Amino acid sequence: MSAKWFGWKGKMLRIDLSKGKFTKQNLPKELARNYIGGRGVNAKILYDELKAGIDPLSPDNILVFSTGPLSGTPIGHGRTSINTKSTRMTPAEGGFGGFFAPELKYAGYDHIIVSGRSDKPVYVWIDDDEIEIRDAKHIWGKTTWETDEIVKEEIGDTDIQVSYIGPAAENLVYTCPVFCNLYHSGGRLGCGTVMGSKKLKAIAVRGSQGVQLAHPDEFEKVYIKWRESMDLKNGLDPFIAPYSLFGAHSLVRIYGEMAGIQTRNAQDLRFEYADELSREKMISTYDVKPKTSFGCVTPACGTWYRIDSGPFAGTEGAMIWADIVGMGLVEINSLPAGLYIRSLCDQLGLDFFHICYSIAWAMECYQRGILTKNDMDGIELKFGNYEGMIEMTKRMTCREGFGSILADGVKKASEKIGKGSERFALSIKGAELELLPLRILYIAALGVAVSESGPDHTKFIQVHLPKLDLIKPKLLKELKLGFDLEKAYKPQEVEGKGRFLKFLEDSRGVLDTLPFCVFLTRSNYNIDFRLWRDFLVAGTGVDYTYEEVMTVGERIKNVERAFIVREGFRRRDDTIPRRMLEEPAPCGHPPVTQEKFDKMLDEYYEARGWSKRTGIPLRTKLEELGLSRIVDDFLALEIEVE
Amino acid sequence: MPTFHLKYLAHIWVLTSKMDEVIESKAKTILDLIVELDKAYPGLKDLFIPPDIGILNVKTNIYLSRARKPARAINDPNEKLMDGDIVVLY
């Protein structure tokens, strides 16, 4: 790498809240080369700087905000990557769109590392080189939207970018994300909660610098090539047309027709109200306009709505298709009610899936007579009762009565209530599931099971359903994938899933470092990432080969795995809820079954070079990836390394 | 006469201006149905079966649901229809 930085700014900002001080450090070249940025650098910093076993809510924990070398260019898409150690002892890695990362980059920083804990609420103001830790007593307890407004008003600039938490994170509701631009959120496993534990309400940033690219002309050529691949006529993706018009929300009716929306705490997969909650209905009924992220070329991925009449008049907010899936879990059949709940969660700073799965679990407990109205403080949580859900959401935020039990997540709640309720507490490694129907998409079943940072479809999702006849045989020959793509793409085929998932995860790892929005990789069928290598080389001037880039993705996954191995996670934890393994859905979809799941998991471990017995990376794999230090760490901690 | 429940998703909804409808039709196959629908919604046939290709456009999707079973993808325009079928177009 050359002495001059292209793409990267070459600077990290460390903020020690215990001391109320900050320092600026040079970004180590080796760190940038081996982990690129974003999620990659986050994973490495977290592994290196946190000792195994530390309390996530103590000052010892750190919180990292990251950009990547291409943040602030037309393809960074505003993705900010954040990571910390979650209260589930796993990484809480996540990303969000919006405009925060480009602004941070323009201020001159690749990463912010927050450590310690303030003794009073504060927020951080970054104005290029000037850093200030400010009192936040007056915004502590305010909603995310109020915080956004107050901070901007106080600084006197509505164009600054602010990341913040809501009152739920201040009250240490276990899985709160960090928010920006009102509705973008990331780090759903508790990045916001850790921020709350540090008494850090917000980070505001203004930048006036640009991003210097190594080869701008070449970068432009690659960009044009990518835009052509997104073209409606030339693009390979059959979802480009619906997606371009309606964004991800177009998937609601599509999944609904395939009986692919989990309903009544995933007891079934047929959601009768999909049409009622569809994007088509929203456009017909409410004032809807596109809301996108920095440099995004899909005009309608997120949508802003406003309700003008009825009991929820005045409600505003943003909606994506995942939210509708959450409504299936609790069987909400009223679009205005659903929109209101989503907006409420954003403003209180809650993770929508935590709310939906926790309340859906309580509703099933009520359905089965395990919990009574009295147990739930007089709220009759039965499926479809959105008024009850709204009230319980508020109580979860304030940690009031039964709400406080749900605020700790569905796993802990079920352990507390017992009486067999653990069976339908739908979580993995202590974190609630999210949107994908595991009984239909085996890749999702395996993907969420082996995820280190909790269920997260962006770590592996196939962004569309396959029509393989569009892929030219020549392309397949060139790519040498090492697995049968046709088989791997079949939703319920077991063979090939492990190898396919490894490929998907590694390539996602790379995208998360640049960063690049996974939903804008359309038209490459999730198999050809050479264009993204070209972006990286043109942007940074570092001559990565395609193999090297993909190895970065693999390295990140292994570092994330090493983090949870150190915390005691093993093969037994790489699983999915028994409901998905054993119970057929009434609509006709059979369960995955333990036997099929084990076969996929074995193949996955083999493809990864991890022990099939323990799920721990083998010594040879770690050494091959230049991670010998992890081998030493494992041995020092008496962790078996094969 | 057989009845079919037709569902128009995403961009097809823009063409039909309705989310769904139940029609009576003598159509025996998916192809018959598309030809018939083209009369009400001009351009629909060319979208699903472009004249220069003559087969189902791989960038469009047709799903068929029968007897309340989850919908399945249709790749052959000569797929037979039965009374009460739900046909999803997008």
**Interface predicted TM-score (ipTM):** 0.86
- In this predicted structure, the answer to whether residue A139 has a pLDDT above a threshold of 90 is yes
For chain A, the first-to-last Cα distance in angstroms comes to 35
CB pairs under 8 A between A and B: 67
Q: How confident is the model at residue A267 (pLDDT cuts 50, 70, 90)?
A: very high
List pLDDT tens digits, range A617-638.
999 999 999 999 999 999 999 9
Cα Rg of chain B (Å, integer): 12
Beta carbons of A245 and B58 less than 8 Å apart: no
Per 3-state DSSP, what percentage of chain B is helix, strand, and coil (rounded to 5)?
25, 25, 50
Give the tokens for residue A26: 């040079």
Q: Which tokens sit at A347?
A: 């403003």
Who's near A6: CB < 8 A, 6+ residues apart?
A69, A212, A213, A214, A539, A540, A541
pLDDT digits (tens, 9 = 90+) for A471-508: 778 888 888 888 888 888 888 999 999 999 999 999 99
Q: Which residues contact A268 (CB under 8 A, 6 or more apart)?
A: A262, A585, A586, A587
Q: Nearest by CB to B70, from A253, A254, A259: name it.
A: A259
Domain ranges of chain B: 3-89
Q: How many CB atoms lie within 10 A of CB A374?
A: 9
Could you give the count of Cα atoms lying within 13 Å of A192 in the half-sphere of its Cβ? 32
pLDDT value at residue A2: 75
Of the pLDDT bands very low, low, confident and very high (cuts 50, 70, 90), residue B84 is very high
Provide the CATH topology of domain B3-89.
Ubiquitin-like (UB roll) (3.10.20)
- Chain B contact set for A269 (CB, 8 A): 70
Above 60 in pLDDT, residue A464?
A: no
Residue A495: which region, alpha, beta or left (left: phi > 0; alpha: psi -120 to 50)? beta
- Chain B residues closer than 8 Å to A467 by CB: 58-59
Q: Which two tokens stand for residue A321?
A: 């298709």
Helix or strand (DSSP H, E) at B4: strand B3-8
A254 to chain B: closest CA residue: B9
User: Which pLDDT score, from 0 to 100, does residue A235 have?
Assistant: 66
pLDDT at position A528, please? Answer: 86
Q: Is the distance from CB of A74 to CB of A223 less than 8 angstroms?
A: yes
Length in residues, chain A: 642
Tell me whether residue A367 is exposed, middle or buried, using C-beta atoms within 10 angstroms of its C-beta: 0 to 12, 13 to 18, 19 or more.
Answer: middle
Chain B residues close to A258, C-beta within 8 Å: 63, 70-71
CA dihedral over A229, A231, A236, A239, signed as positive or negative: positive
* Residue A573 tokens, joined: 């934890």
Confidence of residue A556 (pLDDT cuts 50, 70, 90): very high
Q: Could you give the count of Cα atoms lying within 13 Å of A612 in the half-sphere of its Cβ?
A: 10
What is the percent of chain B where pLDDT is above 90? 64
Residue B71 pLDDT greater than 90, yes or no: no
Query: Percent of chain A at pLDDT above 90?
Result: 77
Is 90 exceeded by the pLDDT of residue A259?
A: no
| Structural tokens at position A319 | 């909606």
The chain-wide mean pLDDT, for chain A, equals 93
Q: Which of A250, A270, A587 has its CB closest to that of B10?
A: A250
- 3-state class of A305 per DSSP? strand
Residue ranges of domains in chain A, CATH in brackets: 11-206 (3.60.9.10), 240-432 (1.10.569.10), 442-636 (1.10.599.10)
| Confidence band for A107, pLDDT divided at 50, 70 and 90 | very high
**What strand order describes the sheet that includes B20-24?**
B20-24, B3-8, B86-89, B62-65, B72-73
How many Cβ atoms sit within 10 Å of the Cβ of residue B55? 12
Residue A304 — very low, low, confident or very high, per pLDDT cuts 50/70/90? confident
Closest residue of chain A to B74, computed from CA coordinates: A467
Lowest mean pLDDT among A264-273, A312-321, A614-623: A312-321
Contact B10 A589 (CB under 8 A): no
Q: Compute the radius of gyration of chain A from its Cα atoms.
A: 23
* Percent of the residues in chain A that have a pLDDT greater than 70, as a whole number: 96
CB proximity list for B5: less than 8 A, separation 6 or greater: B20, B21, B22, B84, B85, B86, B87
List of chain A residues whose C-beta atoms are within 8 Å of the C-beta of residue B69: 587-588
